[in-house]
Chain A
Amino acid sequence: MARVEETGGDREENKEEETSWWSPEAVEGGRVGEGPSRGSRGDGGGDGGRPDTPPPPPYSDQVLENVLENVLQFLVCRRDRNAASLVCRSWYRAEAQTRRELSVGNCYAVSPARVVRRFRCARALVLKGRPRFADFNLFPLGWGARFSPWLAAMATAYPWLERVCLKRMTVSDSDLAFLARSFPSFRDLTLICCDGFGTAGLAVIAVLCRNLRILDLIENDVEDEEEEVIDWISRFPETTTSLESLSFECVNCPVNFSALEALVARSPSLRRLRVNQNVSLGQLRRLMARAPHLTHLGTGSFRPGIAEDLNVADLEQAFVSSKSLICLSGFREVAPEHLPAILPVCANLVSLNLSYAVITAEQLKPVILKCNNLRTFWVLDTVGDEGLLAVAKACKNLHELRVFPFEATEDSEGSVSDVGLVAISNGCRKLQSILFFCQRMTNSAVVAMSKNCQDLVVFRLCIMGRHRPDHITREPMDEGFGAIVMNCKKLTRLAVSGLLTDKVFKYIATHGKSIRTLSVAFAGDSDLSLKYVLEGCHSLQKLEIRDSPFGDVGLLSGIHHYYNMRFLWMSSCMLTLSGCKEVAQKMPNLVVEVIGDRPKDLDSDTVEKLYLYRSLEGPRDDVPLFVNIL
């Protein structure tokens, strides 16, 4: 039965993605579900048909509804709220009145108008646009996911809006200006992997949002012409601010340091500060002196500026004074000899992000061996297997590990391998999430991890050389990934790589019943793989596939399941226009987009890029020329 509902994913899903660096508070709460509503296509809601709009309820029922509202406002988790809204019409109305936080996982699955009509009192919005593969240049520029239409709808409907969190959306400077002007109570702005704005937009936010608490800019593509860079930091009002969190690592333009220092000095509530790499060590020390109660610090360059005479002891003193620090990041151009300055806080650290620090194992060891309470650790592969061994020895409480490649090319040397993975699996038994880039891996290492780390929820292994087998046995990596799905019963997110045959997908289909997100690249032998996955992975929400030999037969085998998914992405596979058309015809509530790099690519029968997603709205009206909706 086709059930068009924006379900899927809850708190955990957001932790899985690369947003764990940003506080998850903004993501809690309600979500746009589609209960039985008038205006729908009649197949929403699974609890039987509902009559069309009835007359307003009698007075006694209204009282009951008010009572209900008072109770329901304590419900925060969006899954609970979705469930409550399906109980009956009265509960549906009460829930809609009291939902404060909306979470829309795909901005095209539902329209702003519909959202605003149902939920009248929202105070916070979490909105996601492009899917993850857009980060890797697979979506042409201008594909969509613009914030403007949402902003326009909310400006009239939610004048008391306080919080906005956007991921992979296009936000312009004028959007930011309009936001700043439209919502007098606005407090929290978090932008992750967005684009389209520059310092001009940030300046307006600084000036006009007088109640700003959170301004977190995380890995956005901030565009500014050289001459048009604006000193937005100095635009904050001169009075004491209510800032609690300020992150602008991705805004890579020179910083007016005295303005920044003054801003920090007049922000008594500031607890999280992440600066960009144009802040030197000496400057960092001054900032830390102004804000001794910081809990999260992004250190900028971590290198002395020109003509800065800074010794490690002085810097260390700054860290001794910052007794509340639990999270460190930055280290953009780290001068390794200064790294030991952070030793005083290591024992308290819960999160450490060294993934931009080009350091060796020897430079890492003295620091990591003191970080015994670390839960989250991101690092660069320059530390090698030896560095990972040290991590395994010291960080017994590690829950999340990410190892990024210094040289992100297929033929790079690669400094970490199966040896490091086994070491981690032996030492960090509580591991829940791992992202590991390497050039050499073995099945036995992956099997070892599957047995040692049974709490794994996220397993993402990227063997960078395409189609690489086990480097010792020369066999495909099927058995390793098979062991992961078999032994890690809590697994919800999986990314596979290396030489893989149809067999691994049979394992995934058989054992990966809880998997919600699956990423596949350069894998499989035939349509069987896709068929296995679509028929076996009952919890699958997001499936992203590239460069794998899957065609129309595989695609069509998912027809029974696509309404339960948020999206399917397939690029450089073997799909044809007729296959995709057939899916589009059979599934009216699915939007089937064929994307070409240029408009004329759409004329051919082979489909280079397919993006399909469920939607209540049908084809979107902002389709660019290089997209064809079937």
Chain B
Amino acid sequence: MASYVEDTELRLGLPGSDALATRGSKRSLPEDDAAGDDSSCRNGGSGSAAKAQVVGWPPIRTYRKNSFQAMKVESEASGLFVKVSMDGAPYLRKIDLKVYKGYKELREGLDGMFNCFSQGEFSRKEGCNGSEFAITYEDKDGDLMLVGDVPWEMFICSCKRLRIMKGSEARGLESRH
């Protein structure tokens, strides 16, 4: 099946910049503008945190869904903690992504924790200029991604953990931009 091979191709552009036709061409249903594919948060780059949910899917009775509503509200209120590892550091940290408004604040926060960027200037898009570090993250599919490509809201809903890469690996990533 060719359609999903393309989806899993590594590329540096903004995800979703190709038309969704590869998946959508299989059928032409009204719900297909929210056509399923493996990485969510892809639709239109609108930055909405969750993709449009289809009625009655997954097939769980409302009775059951409502039972956990209260619990989920609690956990949402309590933050979105992800692990942060830095190459060479003996232990990991955890940060709450919800307290940051955007990438700039995230970098500042990480700098405060790890003191990694104080040598270089900040850059919006790439890793840090002039420093040896790049901030990467693991997304829902387990892939290692460079932080900064997607809109912030999309990022926080797909980021599972952060990894600050340093040394030659980081420089390699930098030079591709």
Contact = CB atoms under 8 A, between A and B. Distances in A.
Contacts of A548: 27
A464 B63 contact: no
Contacts of B8: 474
B31 interface: yes
Contact of A409 (B26, B50, B160): B50
Contacts of A136: 55-57, 59-61
Contacts of B36: 410, 465-468, 522
Contacts of B4: 469, 474, 499
A410 B56 contact: no
Interface residues of B, number: 39
Interface in A546-560: 546-549
Most buried by A among B37, B41, B56, B62: B56
A547 B1 contact: no
A408 interface: yes
A80 interface: no
B23 A408 contact: no
A79 to B, nearest CB: 29
A547 B29 contact: yes
B58 A358 contact: no
Contacts of B64: 355-356, 404, 408
A196 to B, nearest CB: 15
Interface string A519-537: 1011001000000000000
B56 A138 contact: yes
A3 to B, nearest CB: 32
A408 B5 CA distance: 27
B58 A410 contact: yes
A546 B27 CA distance: 13
A358 B5 contact: no
Given A407-B72, A410-B51, A466 B57 contact: yes
B27 A549 contact: yes
A572 B55 CA distance: 11
Contact of B38 (A465, A475, A476, A525): A465
Contacts of B65: 408
Contacts of B1: 469, 475-476, 499, 501
Interface string A436-466: 0100000000000000000000000010111
B54 to A, nearest CB: 7
Interface string A382-410: 00000000000000000000001111111
B172 interface: no
A501 B40 CA distance: 22
Contact of B71 (A250, A358, A409, A410): A358
Contact of B58 (A133, A405, A413): A405
B168 interface: no
Contacts of A250: 63
B91 interface: no
B31 A411 contact: no
A572 B30 CA distance: 8
Most buried by A among B38, B40, B62: B38
A130 interface: no
A404 to B, nearest CB: 7
A547 B58 CA distance: 12
A250 B66 CA distance: 12
Interface residues of A, number: 46
B58 A408 contact: yes
Interface in B1-43: 1, 4-5, 8, 23, 26-31, 35-38, 40-41
A519 B65 CA distance: 21
Nearest to A250: B63
Contact of A410 (B27, B53, B160): B53
B115 interface: no
Given A465-B36, A525-B26, A572-B29, A219 B54 contact: no
B159 to A, nearest CB: 12
B140 interface: yes
Q: Tell me whether chain A's interface is mostly helix, strand or loop, or mixed.
A: loop
B67 interface: yes
Contacts of B63: 219, 221, 250
Nearest to A219: B63
A332 interface: yes
Interface string A482-520: 000000000000000001010000000000000000010
Contacts of B40: 410-411, 465
A53 interface: no
A239 interface: no
Interface in B52-93: 53-65, 67-68, 71-72
Most buried by A among B63, B71, B72: B63
Given A219-B61, A408-B65, A410-B36, A137 B56 contact: yes
Contacts of B71: 333, 358
A467 B68 CA distance: 26
A135 interface: yes
Nearest to B59: A136
Given A467-B36, A572-B29, A408 B55 contact: no
A154 B59 CA distance: 35
B59 A547 contact: no
Contact of A521 (B29, B57, B61, B68): B57
Contacts of B68: 358, 406-407
B26 A547 contact: no
Interface in B101-127: none
Contacts of A467: 23, 35-37
Interface string A581-595: 000000000000000
A443 B40 CA distance: 22
A356 B67 contact: yes
Contacts of A475: 1
Contacts of A133: 56, 59
Nearest to B37: A467
B53 A409 contact: yes
Contacts of B67: 332, 356
Contacts of A193: 61
Interface of A: 133, 135-138, 193, 219, 221, 250, 332-333, 355-356, 358, 404-411, 413, 437, 462, 464-469, 474-476, 499, 501, 519, 521-522, 525, 546-549, 572, 574
Given A356-B64, A466-B35, A572-B29, 12 more contacts: A133-B56, A137-B56, A358-B68, A404-B64, A409-B50, A409-B58, A410-B58, A468-B36, A474-B4, A521-B59, A546-B56, A572-B30
29 contacts: A133-B59, A136-B57, A137-B56, A137-B62, A408-B58, A408-B64, A408-B65, A409-B50, A410-B36, A410-B40, A410-B54, A411-B51, A437-B60, A462-B59, A464-B57, A465-B36, A465-B38, A465-B40, A466-B57, A467-B35, A467-B37, A474-B8, A499-B4, A501-B1, A519-B59, A546-B57, A547-B57, A572-B29, A572-B31
What 9 A-B pairs come out closest when comparing CB atoms? A466-B36, A136-B56, A411-B40, A549-B27, A408-B60, A467-B36, A464-B58, A135-B61, A137-B56
Interface of B: 1, 4-5, 8, 23, 26-31, 35-38, 40-41, 50-51, 53-65, 67-68, 71-72, 140, 157, 160
